[in-house]
Amino acid sequence: MSFELSREQFRTMILYDWKIGLTYKDSHARLVQAWGEQAPSDHTVFNWFREFQRNKFSVQDAPRSGRPSTSVTQQTIDAVRTIIEGDPHSTYQQIETILGISSTAINSIIHDYLNLRKVCARWVPHTLTDDQKQLHVQFCGHSLKRFEEGQSRRVFDIITGDEAWFYHYDPELKEQSKVWMSTTDPHPTKVHRNKSAGKRMVAIFFMKSGLIKSVPLETGATVNANWYVNTCLPQVFTAVSERRETRGLRGLIFHDDNPRPHRAWTTNEFLLENHVEQYPNPPYSPDLSPCDFFLFPKLKKQLRGIRFNDDNEMLTALEQAIDSLTKEDFKNCCEDWFIRMHKCIDANGQYFEKIN
């Protein structure tokens, strides 16, 4: 017999699993085994476990005003078809706002009635060796244990950062050009545009509590150990001390990746002199680097497709993009980081599909 469970019913089962002491991974596995594709995602199970740990045991939806209808009728099917034909880039949220129906109904209309899908290429950044995969697994296992699956207060002591190029003109990603199409239609094409020659490198650092510091590289300069130690990190550590007035740098855990300036002996000495612990990311692992899977994509997405006349215009727009990020964004990034560690272990250290 085929039937669907409500969100409240799934949440009740998750509450039971939490109560008897299962981990959120074990709970998710049980739900998938029993309910297949109906089962909530591991991220959803993780979030409900966290709610129950906070003694919030209600499994009911929070009340919302004006909740949209979930009905699927010929009229709504035709309306969704008209919207997508008019704008193939339409999102669920846009359709929901226009028609006032739920995302569940929209999903059913698009996939079950209109038989449409969005397509995008998938890539991997590097061909990993067995040793590199093992390093990924070891890093994730150690981090999950040390920081108690992300629940430890020490997570607030982690600062992470990296450098990235920001361009006077950066064309839209293929992801941003996705359109709705029938399964029988040929894939659409788009003229390739190159990035501009004008660009500026910027180092950006943040913690779970929010942004700490962005440091533009001087025009014509290069990122080396001298710049990293004498220009970049002093500004970052000053900002940390201002944020943490009572603790300063005490207990700070410095997470970054592995280019030469970051691993140079002068950098090691500087961190040691400031009593800051190094916590390097494993090699070739952008899917485990918060800057790579969260910060830089979010910022660059806001700047893509815009032409800037000079560095000042671009840097001003970048600061505005940074300011648009909320504390909730940084908090969610940190939570996603630990979920990604589980995914990495499950994939035996290989790259895995991003969760956002």
CB 253 within 8 Å of CB 106: no
pLDDT band per the 50, 70, 90 thresholds, residue 182: confident
What mean pLDDT do residues 191-195 have? Answer: 57
Question: Are 44 and 135 in a shared domain?
Answer: no
Using the predicted structure, report yes or no on whether residue 102 has a pLDDT greater than 90.
no
What mean pLDDT do residues 234-241 have? Answer: 97
Global pTM reads: 0.61
Residue in 251, 249, 157 with CA at minimum distance from that of residue 209? 157
Question: Are 134 and 98 in a shared domain?
Answer: no
CA–CA distance, 7 with 25 (Å, rounded to integer) = 18
* Amino acid letter for position 88: P
Strand pairing class (116-117; 181-182): antiparallel
Model pLDDT, residue 194: 61
Question: Are 88 and 111 in a shared domain?
Answer: yes
What mean pLDDT do residues 47-72 have? Answer: 73
CB 164 within 8 Å of CB 199: no
Question: Are 318 and 254 in a shared domain?
Answer: yes
Using the predicted structure, report yes or no on whether residue 68 has a pLDDT greater than 60.
no
pLDDT band per the 50, 70, 90 thresholds, residue 355: very low
Question: Are 83 and 174 in a shared domain?
Answer: no
Is there a domain that residue 19 lies in? yes
The domain that holds 37 is classified in CATH as: 1.10.10.1450
Is there a domain that residue 214 lies in? yes
Using the predicted structure, report yes or no on whether residue 44 has a pLDDT greater than 60.
yes
CB 167 within 8 Å of CB 196: yes
Model pLDDT, residue 354: 52
Residue in 216, 234, 230 with CA at minimum distance from that of residue 163? 216
Model pLDDT, residue 63: 56
CA–CA distance, 254 with 17 (Å, rounded to integer) = 36
CB-side neighbour CA atoms (13 Å) of 147: 23
Using the predicted structure, report yes or no on whether residue 351 has a pLDDT greater than 50.
yes
Is there a domain that residue 67 lies in? no
* pLDDT tens-digit series, residues 2-20: 567 788 888 999 999 999 9
Is there a domain that residue 227 lies in? yes
Is there a domain that residue 353 lies in? no
Q: Which of 88-92, 227-231, 328-332, 343-347 has the lowest mean pLDDT?
A: 88-92
Using the predicted structure, report yes or no on whether residue 192 has a pLDDT greater than 60.
no
What mean pLDDT do residues 155-161 have? Answer: 97
Question: Are 234 and 206 in a shared domain?
Answer: yes
What mean pLDDT do residues 220-231 have? Answer: 93
Tell me if residue 9 falls in helix, strand or coil.
helix
Model pLDDT, residue 213: 96
Residue in 118, 122, 104, 140 with CA at minimum distance from that of residue 4? 104
Number of domains in the chain: 3
- Show the domain range for 249: 130-346
Residue 230 or 112, more confident? 230
Is there a domain that residue 266 lies in? yes
Question: Are 81 and 141 in a shared domain?
Answer: no
Question: Are 113 and 135 in a shared domain?
Answer: no
Is there a domain that residue 79 lies in? yes
* pLDDT tens-digit series, residues 275-294: 999 998 999 999 999 999 99
Contacting residues for 220 by C-beta, under 8 A, at least 6 apart: none
**What's the sign of the alpha-carbon dihedral 178, 180, 181, 182?**
positive
Question: Are 197 and 275 in a shared domain?
Answer: yes
Contacting residues for 324 by C-beta, under 8 A, at least 6 apart: 302
Contacting residues for 205 by C-beta, under 8 A, at least 6 apart: 159, 160, 161, 211, 212, 213, 214, 215, 236, 239
Question: Are 16 and 102 in a shared domain?
Answer: no
Is there a domain that residue 139 lies in? yes
**Residue that is last in its domain, among 117, 149, 169:** 117
Question: Are 189 and 307 in a shared domain?
Answer: yes
Contacting residues for 91 by C-beta, under 8 A, at least 6 apart: none
pLDDT band per the 50, 70, 90 thresholds, residue 254: very high
What mean pLDDT do residues 219-232 have? Answer: 93
The domain that holds 268 is classified in CATH as: 3.30.420.10
Tokens 């250290």 belong to which residue?
A: 349
Model pLDDT, residue 144: 96
Question: Are 283 and 146 in a shared domain?
Answer: yes
Using the predicted structure, report yes or no on whether residue 339 has a pLDDT greater than 90.
yes
